[in-house]
Amino acid sequence: MATRISAVSVRELEDFFVPTLLNCKNTSGLKKIHAQIVKFSLSQSNFLVTKMVDVCDNSGNLGYARLLFKQVLEPNVFLFNAIIRAYTHHQMYDLAVTLYKQMPRYSQAENPIFPDKFTFPFIIKSCAGLFCEGLGTQIHAQVCKFGPKSHLLIENALLDLYTKCENLTDAHKVFDGMTEMDVVSWNSLLSGYARLGQMRKARGVFEEIPNKTIVSWTTMISGYTRIGCYAEALDIFRQMQVLGIEADEISIVSVLPACAQLGALVVGKWIHMYSDKKRLLQSTCVCNALIEMYVKCGCIDQAWQLFDKMLERDVISWSTMIAGLANHGKAREAIKLFQGMQRAKVKPNGITFLGLLSACTHAGLWNEGVKYFDSMREDYNIEPEIEHYGCLVDLLGRAGHLDQAFDRVKKMPMKPESKIWGSLLSSCRTHCNLEIAITAMEHLSVLEPDDAGNYVLLSNIYADLGKWEDVSRMRKLIRSKSMKRTPGCSLTEVNNVVMEFVSGDDSKPFAKDIFSMLELLVLQHNIPDDKIEAIPEDCSHFVC
C-alpha cells in the first residue's frame, strides 16, 4: 500500500486522507492520521492541516490545533480561516484577533495573504465578543477594501458587533445598506434596541419583521421585562400564544419575572402547566424562574413543592428558596434549608446570604445573623456588599443592639447609603436612642433632604422622650420645606386584570364597594373600633 501511494501525486495523496479525517471524532484518532501524514511528507500541506484543524475544532482540542498551525511554514488564507474560526467557536476571541493581526507577517510577494469573505464573519464576531468596537471598525474598513460589496454573513456580523457595542447609529447604517436581510439581520437590530431599553424603537422594528421567530418574540419580552414594563411583556407573550407560536425555555424564563412582579399568578400557573406538558421542567433555569414567581406571588407551598421535585438544583435554586422562606416568615425553615445546602456541598453566593440574613432578621436571631455575616468572608471568601451591611444593621437595630449596629456602619468599607441610615433611624425610634438618631438624621438630611418620613421619625422620637420643643421645631421644618410623603401603593390580580391601589386616591370606580367590604372584614375579625377609625376612607385607585 505504501509503495502504491508513494507513486501517486500530492493531490491524490491529500484526497486519500480526506475521508479518514472527515470520519475522525477525537484527538487520539487524529494523532494516528497525523503520523501517517508526516510519514508521507505532507505536514506542510495547507489543505490537510486545515482539515486537521477542523477536526480539532469539532473535538474542542484547540491546543493541538495551535501546534498544527505553528508547524506550517507558509500557511495560506484557508488555514488562517480554519484556526480563526476554531478560536471564535470556542470563545477564544483574543487569540483569534491576535492571529488575524499576524496575517500580513506571513504574506510573501509571490503569495500575498489577504482576508476574504470567510475570514471576516468570524473575526468580526471575535471583536463583538471582546466588545472591541475600535478594532471592529478597522476591520469594517478592510471589508470595504478586500471583501465583497455585499455579503449577508459579514453584514450580520457587523450588525452584531455594533449592537453589542451599543452603536446603533452605525448598526442602522449597515442595516439600511443591506441588499437583502434575513431573520438574523432583523433580530440583531431588534436586540440592539431592546438591550438599550429603547423599546419604542424596538417595537417599530418588531412590527416590520416579515417572518418573526421565537427569538424575535423573546427579545421583546425580555426587553420589556428589563425596563420594568411588565404588562407589555405579558401582552407580547399573550400575542405569541394567540398566533400559535410555542414558547421555549428562554421565552418562559423571560416572561416569568413579569408574572412575579405583577402578581399574575393565573398566568404563572398556566406557564407551569405548559412547561410540564412540554417537558421543560427538566430545565433548572425554568424551575428557578417558576419558584421565584410563586414566591413573589405569595405561594410559598407551591414553590417548595417545585423545589422538592427538581432533578438538579444550582445555587440560584437554593438561594431563591431560602429568600422565599425568609420573606414568608419561615425563618427557621430558611436556616434549615441553608444547612441542607451546605450538606449538598453547593457553594453559596452573596444572594444566598442576603436571604439568610433576612431570615435571621425576621426571626430576631441577631447572634446567628452576625455569625453568618462574618462567615461570608472567613469561610467562603465572599466580600460583603452594601446590601449585606444593610441587612446586618437592620438585624442588630431591630434586636436593640444599636451600638453594635452603629459600630458596623462606621466600619463599613464603602460609604453608607440612605437606606442604611434610615434603617438605623427607624430602630432608634423603636428603642428611643436619641443620640444615634441625631447622627443618622445628620447624614439623611444630606442624602435625602426632601424625605419627610425621616423628619417624622425623628419628631416621634422627640415626642416619645417628651421633648416637645424639638417636636415643634421638626414640624416647622417639615412645613417650611413643603415636604410630602410618597403615597403607598400595592398591586393585585383579579380575573386576569392587574389592579393598583394608591393611598389617598378615590378617583376610580368601585371605591365605595371596596371600603364597604373592608368594614365587613374588620367586623368579621372583631377588630376594635379605634382601629376601624384609623382605616382611611379614600385610598383606592385602579390601573388595568
> d(Cα 95, Cα 26) in Å, to the nearest integer?
23
Span 163-182, average pLDDT: 92
Q: What type of residue sits at position 367?
A: N
Residue that the C-alpha cell 441588499 belongs to:
179
- pLDDT, tens digit, for every residue of 386-439? 999 999 999 999 999 999 999 999 999 999 999 999 999 999 988 888 999 999
pLDDT at 274 over 90: yes
**What integer pLDDT is reported at residue 536 of this predicted model?**
37
Written as one letter, the residue type at 51 is: K
Of all residues in the chain, what percent carry a pLDDT higher than 70?
Answer: 89
pLDDT in tens, 464-506: 888 888 888 888 888 876 666 566 666 665 665 666 677 666 6
Residue type, 316: I
Return the domain boundaries, the chain: 385-486, 489-534
pLDDT of residue 485: 59
At 89-128, the pLDDT tens digits run 999 999 999 999 998 888 775 678 888 899 999 999 999 9
At residue 108, the 3 state secondary structure works out as strand
DSSP class per residue in 424-444: HHHHHHHHT-HHHHHHHHHHH
Buried b (16+ CB within 10 A) or exposed e, 357-392: bbbbbbbebbebbbebbeebeeeeebebeebbbbbb
Residues 6+ apart with CB under 8 A from 113: 75, 76, 77, 80, 103, 104, 106, 107
- Residue 488: the pLDDT is 64
Q: Is the pLDDT of residue 156 over 50?
A: yes
> Average pLDDT, whole number, for the chain?
87
pLDDT at residue 543 is higher than 90? no
Q: What is the pTM of this model?
A: 0.77
The C-alpha cell at 296 is 413573589
What is the pLDDT, as a whole number, of residue 57?
Answer: 93
Q: At what angle do helices 120-129 and 77-89 cross, to 10 degrees?
A: 30
Task: Give me the pLDDT at residue 484, please.
Answer: 60
41: left (phi over 0), alpha (psi -120 to 50) or beta: left
Q: By CB neighbour count within 10 A (0-12 exposed, 13-18 middle, 19+ buried), where does 38 fall?
A: exposed
Between 197 and 505, the higher pLDDT residue: 197
- Cα–Cα distance between 119 and 75 in angstroms, integer? 14
* Cell 421565584 found at: 292
Quick one: pLDDT at residue 482? 62
Query: Length of the chain in residues, anyone?
Result: 544
Report the pLDDT value the prediction gives residue 452, as an integer from 0 to 100: 83
pLDDT bin (cut points 50, 70, 90) of residue 199 is: very high
How much is the pLDDT for 128? 94
Chain segment 204-249, per-residue pLDDT in tens: 999 999 999 999 999 999 999 999 999 999 999 999 999 999 999 9
The identity of residue 28, as a single letter, is S
Q: Is the dihedral of CA 430, 431, 433, 434 positive or negative?
A: positive
What is the average per-residue pLDDT within 50-74?
92
Q: Check: CB of residue 84 under 8 Å from CB of residue 122.
A: yes
SS3 assignment, position 499: strand
Q: In this prediction, what percent of the chain has a pLDDT beyond 90?
A: 65
In sequence order, the β-bridge partners of residue 499 are 492
The single-letter code of the amino acid at 436 is I
Q: 385-486: which CATH number, 1.10.1740.10, 1.25.40.10, 1.20.58.220, 3.40.640.10?
A: 1.25.40.10
Query: Does residue 380 have a pLDDT over 80?
Result: yes
Q: How far apart are CA 46 and CA 78, in angstroms?
A: 8
Cα dihedral 192, 194, 196, 200, rounded to 10, equals: 110
Contacts of 451 (CB under 8 A, 6+ apart): 418, 444, 483
Confidence (pLDDT) at 533? 38
Work out the angle at residue 136's Cα, subtended by the Cα atoms of residues 130 and 141, and round it to the nearest 5 degrees. Answer: 170
